[in-house]
Amino acid sequence: MSGKKNSLTVADVAREAKVSKATAARVLGEYGIASEGARKAVLEAAERLGYQPNDLARSMSTGRSGLVGVIVGDIENAFFSQAVRGISDTLRAAGLNLIISNSSEQLSEEIEMVSVLLRQRVAGLIVAPTDARHVDHLKAALAAGTPVVTLDRHAPQLGADAVCGEDRQSVGRVLRRLQEEGHRHVAYVTAMKTRDGKLGRLEEIGISAVRERISGFLTQMREAGVEDPADLVFVGATGDDETTAVVTRILKRSPTITAILASDSLICARVFRELSDRGLTLPQDMTLVSWFDADWSRVTTPRISVVDQPTYQFGQKAAERLIARLKGDASPPRVYVIPTPLLERGTIGPAKTE
Partner DNA sequence: TTGTACGCGTTATCAG
Partner DNA sequence: CTGATAACGCGTACAA
**Contact positions toward a copy of itself, by CB under 8 A?**
1-7, 52-57, 59-60, 62-65, 67, 74-76, 78, 81-82, 84-85, 88-89, 92, 97-102, 115-121, 123, 144-146, 266, 269, 272-273, 276, 294-296, 298-301, 312, 325-328
**Distances 157 to 126, 133, 160 between C-alpha atoms, Å:** 16, 8, 9
Put residue 105 in one of left, alpha, beta given phi > 0 → left and psi -120 to 50 → alpha: left
> Is residue 65 part of the contact set for DNA (CB under 7 A)?
no
Residue 123 corresponds to which amino acid? A
d(CA 169, CA 331): 26
Site string for DNA, 75-94 (x = CB under 7 A): --------------------
Q: Which of 9, 77, 81, 238 binds DNA (CB under 7 A)?
A: 9
34 binds, among DNA, a copy of itself, none (CB under 5 to 8 A by kind): DNA
Q: How far is the CB of 202 from a copy of itself (least distance, A)?
A: 30
Residue 321 exposed, middle or buried by CB count within 10 Å (0-12, 13-18, 19+): buried
CB of 35 or CB of 276, closer to DNA: 35
> Is residue 335 part of the contact set for DNA (CB under 7 A)?
no
CB of 34 or CB of 221, closer to DNA: 34
CB of 61 or CB of 248, closer to DNA: 61
332 binds, among a copy of itself, DNA, none (CB under 5 to 8 A by kind): none
User: How many of the other CB atoms lie within 10 Å of CB of 346?
Assistant: 15
CB of 233 or CB of 286, closer to a copy of itself: 286
> Is residue 62 part of the contact set for DNA (CB under 7 A)?
yes
Q: Are 179 and 350 in contact (CB under 8 A)?
A: no
Q: Which parts of the chain are beta strand (E)? A: 67-72, 97-102, 124-127, 148-151, 161-165, 185-189, 233-234, 257-262, 287-291, 305-307, 335-338, 342-343
User: DSSP class of residue 304?
Assistant: P
Bridge-partner residues for 307, per DSSP? 291, 342
Bridge-partner residues for 102, per DSSP? 72
> Is residue 205 part of the contact set for DNA (CB under 7 A)?
no
Bridge-partner residues for 70, per DSSP? 100, 126
CB of 12 or CB of 231, closer to DNA: 12
Q: How far is the CB of 27 from DNA (least distance, A)?
A: 8
Q: Using the rule CB under 7 A, give the single segment among 31-39, 202-210, 260-268, 324-332 that binds DNA.
A: 31-39
Q: Strand 342-343 vs strand 305-307: parallel, antiparallel, or unpaired?
A: antiparallel
Q: Which of 43, 53, 273, 350 binds DNA (CB under 7 A)?
A: 53
Q: Residues 6 or more apart from 150 whose CB is under 8 A from it?
A: 126, 127, 128, 129, 138, 158, 160, 161, 162, 163, 318
116 binds, among a copy of itself, DNA, none (CB under 5 to 8 A by kind): a copy of itself
CB of 15 or CB of 133, closer to DNA: 15
Q: Using the rule CB under 7 A, give the single segment among 53-61, 91-99, 287-295, 324-332 that binds DNA.
A: 53-61
Which positions lie near DNA, rule CB under 7 A?
A: 5, 7, 9-11, 19-23, 25-26, 28-29, 31-35, 37-39, 51-54, 57-58, 60-63
